[in-house]
Structure 1
Amino acid sequence: MLATSALTDPGALAKEVSKRVPDDHLREAFDEMIRTYVQKIVTGNRTLILPPAAFHEVPTPGGKVRPVGRSKKVAEIREAWRVVLRERINIGPAAEDWKVLADCDTEDLLFAETARRDLAARNLANADQLKGLRDLLAEHGKQHVRDLPDSVLAAYFGGGK
């Protein structure tokens, strides 16, 4: 459907796909989709991991650093790392390869680290490609990518001179 549709909004695309799912396959489709949605929520709710120094001292307007007091809020901040240990992370290639951080071993952490570094590298490469297109628009005085000459686009995407 993506190859033949002119729709660009994921919501509109989802509605179109939904219309095409036979009623007797709705539960199976829902189970497949809800897994992806829950994973998105799990990874989107990650706790920010702060450096240890952030829990012990704070800068003052004069540039000096003073120790943090013993308030209840500060005590909670100092214990925030315990929340991080309960976070769920993907630790393998299978869809069900998930653990809480506290239960991860070296192999699990290596997989999770490598997956994140690979994703970051792909995102950076994609960002570089988009910047390249932006540079081509400026270089050729065009407003839209579609306005660039075919030869320029073919060369940029590796399909021509």
Structure 2
Amino acid sequence: MSDAELRRMVDWTVEDPPPEARVGRVLGGLFHAVSAVVTLGADAALGARPASWSLPADPAGHLGLGVLELRWPDPAPAEPVEATREAVWVAGPGRPARRLPVETWRVVRAVPGTGSRRPRQSAAPWRLELTDGSVTGSLTGAWLALAWIGHLAGWPEPAPSS
């Protein structure tokens, strides 16, 4: 599964990157490969994982959505989030995974990361502020990853806030 294939599965707008970003991705990939060798895998040890946008054949298999973090409630420490074709999970180290009731939440604010001319491209960073009616939290990650979670949850595409 590629970025384009996953984009077709979500209802939210996902913009194409500008031509210069494609060149930057190639150079960035080369830099990342060199950096990984030089740092002897420190990125992997820290849990950094670039999005592969992979959608496994197994519905229970985790998608390659990159780094997603949930703070629930908002001042709580960030917890890593994973998603399958069917559900969204918090999968913190040393703790059992727990399913998140994203279908009961709603987006109250969407804040794009800075520096992008096209903030709704796949890898653009965003933060969604969420509520279940009594608790407020936030979910951060790449736009396409958040669009996938919104797809699973049934959320409408949010308008950006500043």
Give me the TM-score of the superposition, normalised by structure 2. 0.26
Q: Which has the higher strand share?
A: 2
Higher relative contact order (CA 8 A, sep 6+): 2
Larger radius of gyration: 1
Give me the TM-score of the superposition, normalised by structure 1. 0.26
Q: Which has the higher helix share?
A: 1
